[in-house]
Structure 1
């Protein structure tokens, strides 16, 4: 009977060790899955930041282009005024 008790205790210990090992594997899987999700989240945040920076850059470039166009229009207006003056002075 002692022999049976020893075998039962060893089996019980082996079962507990197996359960502990199985739980450790499951915990490792959850940990790995969590790290994977965190990595994807970080990549998405980085991508969003890059897109925002690109949009801001595009907006800044558009503002610069608009300023250049405004300057050119101002210069053309000045030239037209000068041409008018010249034409008017030739008429008189």
Structure 2
């Protein structure tokens, strides 16, 4: 991540922490401005994004798969798909 990106992530994290401090206990379960999401859902989502910006998840290793058969139209032979 670039220095500008890290600084932006840092600022966003500070802003999120400031917002969290303003939410009282009774507000966590209230609906948010995002349809279907409670306040706690939005805060958790933003927190997860901030965490991933600083510590991205590891990519899954590529695993060689067995060749798969493609669906075939009626009357045609199956074709193998090579990885």
Structure-2-length-normalised TM-score: 0.28
Bigger share in helix: 1
Question: Looking at both structures, which has the greater relative contact order when contacts are Cα pairs under 8 Å and sequence separation is at least 6?
Answer: 2
> Is the radius of gyration larger for structure 1 or structure 2?
1
Bigger share in strand: 2
